[in-house]
Amino acid sequence: MDIILCGGGDIGSAAAETLTLAGESVTLIDPDERKIRFLRDNLDISTIEGSASSASILQSANVAKADAVIATTDIDEVNLVICDIAASLGAARTMARIDHSMFLQDEQLDYAAVFSVDRLFSPDRVMASGMASWLRNPAAIAIEQFTGNEIELQQLTVDPQAQAVGQPLRSLAMPRGARLAAITRNGMATLPSAEAAVEGGDIVTLVAEREVFPAMRKLFTRGTYGKQSIAISGGSPSAAWLCTFLSDRAFDIRLFEMDRNRAEELGERLDWVTVLHADPADPDVFAEEQLHRVDAFVSMKSDEQNMLACAYARRMGVKNVMPVIRHAEFKPILAELGIDRAWNPREDAVQAIRGFLYCHEFERIDGFFNDTLELMRLRVGSRSTLIGQTLAAIGDTPPMLVLACESDDGTPFVPGGDLEINAGRHMIVLTTTQKSDEVRTRLDAGGSR
């Protein structure tokens, strides 16, 4: 693909490196001569020095033939204007980074439509959504989010006393919008039939729309998911997004912010959160608030503050600590501090960009199965031999499960057997590795619409 990246900051440069390694043709535009020189010297990309909000600059990048224009500067309004101009000049698709929640939540105006943007994304929001998924599902081995974070894939170990053990899948009352995608037993992953039954110790791969996942999970675990206590250090935008994603009765959230004005602002906006003007890394505050009892401690300040606060919380007995670490050079230190996992908005932003680019074509999703099953994002092409057929009619020839897709208006859902395959439909498909090439061919993955 021919991709134009507008903005050579942390996100733009990271996206350029990732996409170049994936074999894409990347042109990066930035007005800063030093950034351009550094990127040109270190990456195999084309560079243009100048403002991407200039039509002439975009035309010099051959915008009319670009498969996608992605604006990643740190100014929301500039990103919207860039995408608007790029779309008017013939760019196939546009994507804009947005940091201010106003552009994402305003019910009075659809900014994406006004500025001809195919996708808006917020690095803070994407990261917070992932963090919320981990906090909601402490027993999950692995988590992946699909189609705008509305559908999740999780892998869980089946409890020997769980309700589903020993029962054929057809008899389980799975909620609508949920599916058991695979069963892994003794290291071998298989696509389950309606007669299959899980055993204690199996690893099940579950896919469900976010609101029904708790009901689906309870079939396979006996864990008690009562109210969780969460402590968040720092009132950053990502902290506000995290509180928003956890705005239900399952969480007791305390947010600590040292700036009094910011604390008061957040207290008014987040009325389900207890906002305190204090530093939770202060031993006196930590002891007074009994933070050693929390289920999770999240720190969203500077990298140094986050590492120290989480290391202290870990030493005081908090099992789940979640620091935000923006600079890669700090990662080797985390293990020495007893910290297992860190979060980086830049990395999550790059994944959002990859998802936007490849959901229109074809992409393998790695990290869930070894060699027996293959998970893929794809778009059905116009030459697919399965067009017009329902999933029920296709059966298991070829063997595949459609785990998620988007409706005509872009709404994500987990389909039932009555879903009809149409050209242009975006889907998440699971099949056997042996039959993956056949599935791609029969769906004409990434072919013409």
The pLDDT tens digits along the chain (449 residues) read 899 999 999 999 999 999 999 899 999 999 999 999 999 999 999 999 999 999 999 999 999 999 999 999 999 999 999 999 999 999 998 999 988 866 555 444 466 666 678 888 889 988 998 888 888 876 666 677 775 567 888 888 999 999 999 999 999 888 888 989 999 998 889 999 889 999 999 999 999 887 888 888 889 987 655 678 999 999 999 999 999 888 877 789 999 999 999 999 999 999 999 999 999 999 999 999 999 999 999 999 999 999 999 999 999 999 899 999 998 888 888 888 888 888 999 988 998 888 788 765 667 777 678 778 998 888 888 899 999 999 888 888 888 899 888 765 567 788 888 889 988 888 889 999 889 899 999 998 866 66
Long-range pairs, 439-444, Cβ under 8 A, ≥24:
439/398, 439/400, 440/362, 440/376, 440/378, 442/384, 442/385, 442/386, 442/398, 443/378, 443/380, 443/381, 443/384, 443/386, 444/380, 444/381, 444/382, 444/383, 444/384, 444/385
Indicate the helix (H) or strand (E) that contains 153.
strand 151-157
Per residue, what are the HEC states of 198-252? ECCCCEEEEEEEHHHHHHHHHCCCCCCCCCEEEEEECCCHHHHHHHHHCCCCCEE
- Supply 108's token pair: 């009075």
Distance of CA 65 to the CA centre of its chain: 28
- Residue ranges of alpha helices (H) inside 257-374 are 260-269, 283-288, 303-315, 331-336, 345-358
Give the Cα separation of 207 and 356 in Å (integer).
Answer: 20
State the pLDDT at residue 398.
Answer: 83
pLDDT at 223: 62
| Contact in structure between 223 and 196 (CB atoms under 8 Å) | no
- Cβ atoms 15, 5 nearer than 8 A: yes
Look up tokens 């808006």; give the residue.
Answer: 120
pLDDT at 210: 79
Q: What is the pLDDT of residue 35?
A: 93
Alpha-carbon distance of 387 to 443, in angstroms, equals: 8
DSSP assignments along 298-313, one per residue: EE-S-HHHHHHHHHHH
**Token pair listed for 71:** 């604006």
Torsion sign over Cα 54, 57, 62, 66 = negative
User: At 296, phi and psi to the nearest 5?
Assistant: -155, 145
Coil, strand or helix at 173: coil
Which of 223, 232, 200, 209 lies closest to 140 in space, CA to CA?
A: 223
| 122/132 Cα distance (integer angstroms) | 15
Collect all residues with Cβ–Cβ distance below 8 Å to 410 and sequence separation of at least 6: none
Q: What local confidence, expressed as pLDDT, does residue 204 receive?
A: 92
- 3-class DSSP assignment, residue 340: coil
> Kind and range of the H or E element at 429?
strand 426-432
Ordered by where they begin, the domains of the chain are: 2-121 (3.40.50.720), 126-218 (3.30.70.1450), 228-345 (3.40.50.720), 350-443 (3.30.70.1450)
Query: What is each CA distance from 26 to 67, 70, 346, in whole angstroms?
Result: 10, 11, 18
Tokens matching residue 58 = 């975009």
**345 close to 123: Cβ distance less than 8 angstroms:** yes
Q: Is the omega angle on the peptide bond into residue 332 within 30 degrees of 0, that is, cis? A: no
Question: What is the pairing mode between strands 188-190 and 203-209?
Answer: unpaired
Residue 299, strand partner residues:
233, 323
The strand pair at 426-432 and 373-379 is best described as antiparallel
Whole-prediction pTM value? Answer: 0.75
Q: Provide the pLDDT for residue 332.
A: 84
CB burial readout 116-151, b (16+ within 10 A) else e:
bbbbbbbbbbbbbbbbbbebbbeebeeebbbbbbbb
Residue whose pair of structure tokens reads 């007995």 in the numeric block: 317
CA angle 304, 305, 307 (to 5 degrees): 65
**Cα distances (Å, whole numbers) of residue 280 to 286, 288, 334:** 5, 10, 20
Q: In whole angstroms, give the CA distance from residue 231 to residue 288.
A: 13
Give the whole-angstrom CA distance, residue 400 versus residue 293. Answer: 45
